[in-house]
Amino acid sequence: MAVASGGLILLLAVACLVGPPLIAATWGYDEQTQDLAYGPQPPSWEHPFGTDFYGRDLLVRVLSGGRVSLTVGFLAALVAATIGTVYGAVSSYAGGLVDAVMMRAVDVLYALPYMFLVIILVTILGKSLLLVFLALGAVGWLLTARVVRGQVMSLKQQDFVLAAKSLGTPGRDIVFRHLIPNTLGPVIVTFTLTVPSMILQEAFLSFLGLGVQAPRASLGALINDGANQMLVFWWTLVFPGSVMAVMLFALNFLGDGVRDALDPRMRR
Amino acid sequence: MRDTTTEPSPTGDAAEAVLTIRDLRTFFQTDGHVVKAVDGVSFSVRRGETLGVVGESGSGKSVACLSALRLVPSPPAFHPSGEIRFQGRDLLRLPEPEIEALRGNRLAMIFQDPMTSLNPYLRVARQLTEVLEVHQGATPAAARREAIAMLERVGIPDAGRRIDQYPHQFSGGMRQRVMIAMALLCQPEVLLADEPTTALDVTVQAQILELIAELQASLGTAVVLVTHDLGVVAGTADRVVVMYAGRIVEEGPTGELFANPQHPYTRGLLASMPRIDTPPTGHLEAIAGLPPDLGHLPTGCAFHPRCPLASDRCRHEEPPVVAISATHRAACFEVEAGG
Amino acid sequence: MSALPPTELSPLLEVRDLAVRYRLERPGGLLSRGHDELRAVDGVNLVVRRGETLGLVGESGCGKSTTGRAVLQLLKPSTGTVVFDGQPIHDWWVRKGRRWVWDARLRDLRRRMQMIFQDPFASLNPRMTVEAILTEPLRNFGLAAGSDRRRRVQELMATVGMDPRFIRRYPHEFSGGQRQRIGIARALALGPDLIVADEPISALDVSIQAQILNLLARLREELGLTMIFIAHDLAAVRHISDRIAVMYLGRIVEEADAGEIVAAPRHPYTQALISAVPVPDPVQEATRQRTVLSGEVPSPVNPPSGCPFHTRCPLREDRCTRDVPVLREIAPGHRVACHLVE
C-alpha cells in the first residue's frame, strides 16, 4: 500500500513537473494561455479536464497547480519539522526551567489563531512564494515540537543515554546523535500529516489573496475557484478536488511506509 | 517428543490423568515462514500432582499452556495436529462458548507479570466476583463473601477492606496472591502457572510457592508449573518435562531427572547454573551457542548446534525417544536405553 | 579467589555514608501537603580493593542499583563521600542553573570507571551500528584515529568473543547475550580500572548467563579489573565475587567474604534470603530448613523506624523498633548490622 502510494506520488510529482512544459511544447499552450472566446467548456478530447472561465486548459492548470501545492506543502512541512524537532529535543533534554519556559512558549503560540499569525507575517514580509512557505513552516512546527519533546522525555530515561553520558559524550552529541535519530519515526508521521495541512493553509491564503498570485495557481486556489462555480461548471471543482484528494491519501500511506522503512528493527 | 497416541505416558497410568496433551503442535504463520512454537509435545498431569515444565525462551513452554486453554490468537496460530483431553473432551476442538465455560472454572491460569494481568481499571472485588457470577451463577452478595474468604486464604490481610481496592494499591507479591485467588475461586481441576514467581523477589517467591503447594494439597488441584528455574522445579514438582525449541527433550520424576539427567541439554543446564550449595569452581560449564531461532530451525535435532555430543546423525535425523526407565525418557541418539 | 600480591590490595574505592534521597511532593493541588522522602540509599559504607570483586545483593527497593550509579556519579549523591583512587570525586559537580552537571575532572575520570547495564535491549542505541556504538567512547576522548579506530573496535569485539565482522550490524540483529557482550565491549573501550555491573545477566536466558559470567571472570583476570557486581541472584553473585554485601532498604545489613556469607550468615535477613534461594537438587529442597519471611519489603518512602528489617524479622525485639543498628565488625572481615548479633 505504502509502496503503491509512493509510486503514485512520484508519478504525480513527475507529471506536475514534466507535464506543463511538455504540453506547452506539444500543443503550444501553458497554464496561463487564455482563450476568452472558447470560454469554459466541459471535458473533451482536446481538453481532458475541460477549460476554465478564461478558456485556460484545466489539465495544465491542475498539473501546474499540483506542482505549486506539492512544493509549498513539502518545503513548509520540512521547515516545520526541522524547527520543531530541534526545539522539542533541546527543550526536553535540557529539562527543568528551560523546558518549562520553552514549552509554555509553545502553548501560547498554539493558542493563538494560526491563520492570524500567518497573515500578519505574510503581510509584513511580502507576497513572495518563498516567504509564504517560510511563514507557514514557522508556525507549523508546534505539533512536531510537542511530539518530539514527548518522545525525548521517554528516550532520555533509557539506558543507552546513560551509557553515552558515562562514556563522556557531551550533551550536544547526545541530543543530535542519540535522541533525535530515535525520534524520526513519529517525526516522519507528523511530517506527512503536516504536508496536507500546509497545502490547505496555502489554499486559504490564496483565497485571501495572500498566497500564490493569479494567474499562477495552486491546487487549493483552483479548488476555491471551482467551488464558486461548481453548480455551473462542475469540472472546475471535480478535477482539482480529486487530484488533491488522491494526493493527500497517497501522502498518508507513504508516510506510514517511510516510517516503517526507517525503523532498523523492521529491516529484515 | 514423537509420541504416538498408542504409547502409554511415562506415568504409566493414563487413566488417572486429569489433563492429557497429545502430540500438540502450535505453529504461527508469519509473513514468509512458519514458526514452530510447539512441535509435537505430549504430557499429562494427575490430580494433586505438580508437573514442572522447564525451558528457556523459545522452548514453547508458555505457548503449550496457552494452547491448552485456547488462548493463542488463531490466526496467526494454527494447530496442525494435537489433542488436549480434559474430562473426556478434546479442548482443541470445542466450540468457543464451551471453552469459555471451562476457562476460569475447571481450568485456570496464572501469569508471570502481576502488573499487567489484572485489569487496572477495575476494583479487585469486581474481578473476583465476576468469575463466580459467570461460572457458578452466584448472587453478588454470595460471590463477594466467597471472594473475601478466598483472599484471606491466600494471605491478604484485612481482606474485607482490601477487596475494594484497585490493583495498583497492592504490591507485586500481593497482586500475585490476588491472581491465585481469582484462579482458584471455582476450585478448578487444573491450574496452569506460567512463570508465576519470575518477576518476584526471592523471599516473596518462597511465600508464593508455599501458598500454591498448600492450596494444591487442600483442593487436590493438578498444577502445571512453567518456569526456567531448575531450583524452583526441584522444590515443587513431582515430575519434570524439559523443553527445547518446541519439543520435549527429557521427562521424568523429579528425583530421577536431577539425579541422573540424560539429555545433553538437561545436563548442560544443570552444569551451567551457579549454585549456592557448592563451592565455586571458577568456571562454569556453559552451553555453547545461542538460543534457537524458531523461524529457522536446524535440520535433525534442534539442539545439535550447541551439543557437545553432536554426531552426523544428529544433524540430519530427528532423535528417537529413548526409555531410560519406566518413567524417565529422553529424546537423543546418544542416550542408551535403560541408561 | 584472586591471589593478588599484598601491594595490590589497596583500596581503589571508598564509600562513606553514601545517601541518595528523593523528595516526593505529595499531590495536593494548589495547597502543598508537604513532602515524603524516598531513601533509596540510606548510609552505605564500602571499601573495594584493587582487583577485588564486590557483590552487592538484595531484593527490590534495597538500593543496590542506585548505589552503583551513585558510586559512578551517574547520579548525584545527596550526602556522603566517594573516594576513587585517593581522590574525592563526590565533590566534582558543578551547578548549572537548577541542575548539577559534571566538572571537567569527573569527565576525565570516566575513562577509569564504567558501567555495564541490565537491559540488553535498552542499553544500545537501536539506530546506531555496533561500530558507531563502540567508536563513540574513542571519539569522545580522542583515542585512536582513522583506520586505527576501526582496528580498535574489531579488537574489542574479539575480546568479548564476538566476530569482528559484525560491526556493521544493528543491535536488533543480535540476541540478548550478544548485545550484552557488545555492552561489555563498550564499557571496556576506555580501559577502565573499575567496572560496575548492574544486573548484567538478569535479563538473559539461563544457558547464556553462564557464558557471560565466564566472560566477565576471564576479562577480570586478563585486564586486572576491579568490579562491583550488582544482582539479586545470590548464586551468581556468590560465584563471581570475593566479598558480598547484602542490602535491605538502602542499607547494608551484612558484609563478609563470599563463602562465609553463604556458609555462616549472621543477619536474620541474610539467613532468610539464603534459605529462600531454590537449589536444583530435589533431595536438598525437600529436607532443608526454610525461614519463610512474612510480609513484603516495605516501601522506601518513609521507611520504618529503627532497624528497617524489624517489620519482618522473626527475632524482633523492642529496641529494634527504636534504634538503628550500626554495621559492626563481629569477626575479622565480617560486618553485621543487627542488635541481636553482638
Using alpha carbons, select from B11, B37, B22 the residue that is nearest to residue B244.
B37
Tally Cβ neighbours within 10 Å of residue C119: 18
Q: How far apart are CA A213 and CA A198, in angstroms?
A: 17
- Which residues on B lie below 8 Å from C175 (Cβ)? 290-291
Please check the confidence at residue A239 and state whether its pLDDT lies above 80.
yes
Contact between chains at C238 and B235 (C-beta distance less than 8 A) = no
Dig out the grid coordinates for A178 from the structure: 542519540
Instruction: Point out the least confidently predicted range of A4-8, B31-35, B224-228.
Output: A4-8
The 10s digit of each residue's pLDDT in B77-88 is 899 899 999 998
Distance from CA of C169 to the nearest CA of A (A): 10
> What Cα–Cα distance (Å) separates residue B171 from each residue in B68, C207, C299?
29, 30, 10
CATH number at residue A49: 1.10.3720.10
What residue spans define the domains of chain B?
3-106+186-255
Contact between chains at C172 and A265 (C-beta distance less than 8 A) = yes
Please check the confidence at residue B281 and state whether its pLDDT lies above 70.
yes
Tell me, yes or no, if C235 comes closer than 8 A to chain B by beta carbon. Answer: yes
Q: Which residue of chain B has the CA closest to C177?
A: B290
Q: How far is CA C201 from the centre of its chain?
A: 12
Contact between chains at C125 and A160 (C-beta distance less than 8 A) = yes
Distance from CA of B326 to the nearest CA of C (A): 20
Report the percent of chain C where pLDDT is more than 90.
Answer: 63
Give residue A52's pLDDT.
Answer: 79
Domain span at residue A176?
A: 2-267
Chains that touch B (3 or more CB pairs under 8 A): C
Distance from CA of C322 to the nearest CA of A (A): 38
- Which residues on C lie below 8 Å from A169 (Cβ)? 136, 140
Give residue C225's pLDDT.
Answer: 95
Per-residue pLDDT band for B295 (boundaries 50, 70, 90) equals confident
Contacts of the segment B310-319: beta carbons below 8 A, 24+ positions apart: B318/B2
The 10s digit of each residue's pLDDT in C13-45 is 999 999 999 888 777 666 666 778 888 999 999
Mean pLDDT across C214-221? 94
Mean pLDDT across C240-262? 94
Return the C-alpha torsion angle B295, B298, B304, B310, nearest 10: 180
* Beta bridge pairs of residue C38: C22, C301
Q: How far apart are CA C257 and CA C54, in angstroms?
A: 9
Which of C206, C243, C293, C297 best tests the B interface by mutation, with the highest count of B CBs <10 A? C206
Please check the confidence at residue B180 and state whether its pLDDT lies above 90.
yes
> What Cα–Cα distance (Å) separates residue B339 from each residue in B260, B261, B329, B331, C281?
9, 10, 10, 13, 20
Distance from CA of C110 to the nearest CA of A (A): 6
Report the percent of chain A where pLDDT is more than 70.
Answer: 88
Q: How far apart are CA B321 and CA A1, in angstroms?
A: 49
Q: How far apart are CA A20 and CA A58, in angstroms?
A: 11
Tell me, yes or no, if C272 comes closer than 8 A to chain B by beta carbon. Answer: yes
Contact between chains at A164 and C125 (C-beta distance less than 8 A) = yes
Per-residue pLDDT band for B12 (boundaries 50, 70, 90) equals very low
Nearest to C127 among A95, A166, A182 (CB): A182
Which of A151, A155, A161, A166 best tests the C interface by mutation, with the highest count of C CBs <10 A? A166
- Which residues on C lie below 8 Å from A172 (Cβ)? none
Q: Three-state SS for A267? A: coil
DSSP codes of every residue in B66-79 = HHHTT-S-TTTEE-
Q: Are C157 and C167 in contact (CB under 8 A)?
A: yes
Q: How far apart are CA C99 and CA C104, in angstroms?
A: 16
Interface of C with B in 148-207 (CB under 8 A): 175, 177-178, 205-207
Q: For residue B126, what are the contacts with CB-CB under 8 A and spacing of at least 6?
A: none
- This complex has an ipTM of 0.86
- Which residues on C lie below 8 Å from A177 (Cβ)? 128, 136
Distance from CA of A156 to the nearest CA of C (A): 11
Q: How far apart are CA C285 and CA B240, in angstroms?
A: 15
Rounded mean pLDDT of chain A?
A: 80
Q: How far is CA C265 from the centre of its chain?
A: 21
Q: How far apart are CA B182 and CA B319, in angstroms?
A: 41
Q: DSSP letter at C317?
A: -
CA-derived radius of gyration, chain B: 21
Most confidently modeled of A124-138, A141-155, B274-288?
A: A141-155
The 10s digit of each residue's pLDDT in A87-122 is 999 999 988 888 999 999 999 888 877 777 777 777
Give residue B129's pLDDT.
Answer: 92
Q: How far apart are CA A80 and CA A141, in angstroms?
A: 4
- Which residues on A lie below 8 Å from C124 (Cβ)? 160, 163
Per-residue pLDDT band for B14 (boundaries 50, 70, 90) equals very low
Instruction: Point out the least confidently predicted range of A209-223, B14-28, B42-56, C224-238.
Output: A209-223
Per-residue pLDDT band for A212 (boundaries 50, 70, 90) equals low
Instruction: Point out the least confidently predicted range of A25-39, B163-177, C107-121, C244-258.
Output: A25-39
Contact between chains at A166 and C72 (C-beta distance less than 8 A) = yes
> What Cα–Cα distance (Å) separates residue C218 from each residue in A31, A46, B338, C221?
76, 82, 40, 5
Q: Are C157 and C130 in contact (CB under 8 A)?
A: yes
- Asked, as a colleague might, if the bond just before A20 is cis with ω within 30 of 0, I would say no
Q: Three-state SS for C46? A: strand
The 10s digit of each residue's pLDDT in B184-196 is 999 999 999 999 9
- Which residues on B lie below 8 Å from C207 (Cβ)? 56, 268-269, 272, 286-287, 291, 306
Q: How far apart are CA B36 and CA B245, in angstroms?
A: 8
Using alpha carbons, select from C36, C50, C42 the residue that is nearest to residue C5.
C50
Nearest to C136 among A95, A96, A169 (CB): A169
Q: Which residue of chain A has the CA closest to C112?
A: A167
Q: How far apart are CA C89 and CA A15, in angstroms?
A: 66
Q: Which stretches does DSSP call E strand in chain B?
A: 17-29, 34-46, 50-54, 77-78, 83-86, 89-90, 107-110, 190-194, 222-227, 239-244, 247-253, 321-323, 329-331
Q: DSSP letter at A57?
A: B
CA-derived radius of gyration, chain C: 21
Give residue A117's pLDDT.
Answer: 73
Give residue B179's pLDDT.
Answer: 92
Contact between chains at C140 and A264 (C-beta distance less than 8 A) = no
Instruction: Point out the least confidently predicted range of A155-164, A204-213, B92-101.
Output: A204-213
Q: Three-state SS for B2? A: coil
Give residue B229's pLDDT.
Answer: 92
Distance from CA of C116 to the nearest CA of A (A): 8
* Beta bridge pairs of residue C247: C252
Rounded mean pLDDT of chain C?
A: 89
Distance from CA of C136 to the nearest CA of A (A): 8
Nearest to C238 among B56, B172, B280 (CB): B280
Q: For helices A235-262 and A219-229, give the axis angle rounded to 10 degrees.
A: 150
Query: Which CATH code for domain B3-106+186-255?
Result: 3.40.50.300
Give residue C31's pLDDT.
Answer: 65
Burial group, residue A179, by CB count within 10 angstroms (0-12, 13-18, 19+): buried
Per-residue pLDDT band for C6 (boundaries 50, 70, 90) equals very low
Interface of C with A in 177-196 (CB under 8 A): 183, 186, 189-190
Q: How far apart are CA B21 and CA C23, in angstroms?
A: 54
Q: How far apart are CA C173 and CA C133, in angstroms?
A: 14
Element (H, E) at C47: strand C35-49
Q: For residue B137, what are the contacts with CB-CB under 8 A and spacing of at least 6?
A: none
Give residue B339's pLDDT.
Answer: 54
Chains that touch A (3 or more CB pairs under 8 A): C
> What Cα–Cα distance (Å) separates residue B215 from each residue in B111, B180, B188, B220, B223?
17, 10, 11, 8, 10
Q: Which residue of chain C has the CA closest to A268?
A: C173
Q: How far apart are CA A45 and CA A52, in angstroms?
A: 15
Q: Are B23 and B82 in contact (CB under 8 A)?
A: yes
Dig out the grid coordinates for C56 from the structure: 552487592
Please check the confidence at residue C194 and state whether its pLDDT lies above 90.
yes
DSSP codes of every residue in B11-71 = TS-GGGEEEEEEEEEEEEE-SSSEEEEEEEEEEEEETT-EEEEE--TTS-HHHHHHHHTT-
Tell me, yes or no, if C279 comes closer than 8 A to chain B by beta carbon. Answer: yes
Tell me, yes or no, if C117 comes closer than 8 A to chain A by beta carbon. Answer: yes
Per-residue pLDDT band for B1 (boundaries 50, 70, 90) equals very low
Burial group, residue C83, by CB count within 10 angstroms (0-12, 13-18, 19+): middle
Residue in the block written with cell 521427562: B251
Q: How far apart are CA B272 and CA C177, in angstroms?
A: 15
Q: Are B242 and B54 in contact (CB under 8 A)?
A: yes
Phi/psi region, residue C144 (left: phi>0; alpha: psi -120 to 50; beta: rest), is left
Per-residue pLDDT band for B9 (boundaries 50, 70, 90) equals very low
Q: How far apart are CA C132 and CA C145, in angstroms?
A: 14
Dig out the grid coordinates for A101 from the structure: 519556559
Please check the confidence at residue C161 and state whether its pLDDT lies above 80.
yes
- Which residues on C lie below 8 Å from B156 (Cβ)? none
Nearest to A97 among C97, C128, C190 (CB): C97
Give residue B30's pLDDT.
Answer: 86
Q: Which residue of chain B has the CA closest to C263?
A: B277
Give residue B23's pLDDT.
Answer: 94
Return the C-alpha torsion angle B127, B128, B134, B136, nearest 10: 180
Give residue A263's pLDDT.
Answer: 66
Which of C94, C95, C100, C136 best tests the A interface by mutation, with the highest count of A CBs <10 A? C136
Tell me, yes or no, if C238 comes closer than 8 A to chain B by beta carbon. Answer: yes
Tell me, yes or no, if C287 comes closer than 8 A to chain B by beta carbon. Answer: no
Contact between chains at A160 and C111 (C-beta distance less than 8 A) = no
Please check the confidence at residue B10 and state whether its pLDDT lies above 60.
no
Number of separate domains in chain A: 1
- Asked, as a colleague might, if the bond just before A215 is cis with ω within 30 of 0, I would say yes
Q: Is the torsion defined by CA of B301, B306, B312, B316 positive or negative?
A: positive
Q: Which residue of chain C has the CA closest to A171?
A: C101
Predicted TM-score (pTM) above 0.95? no
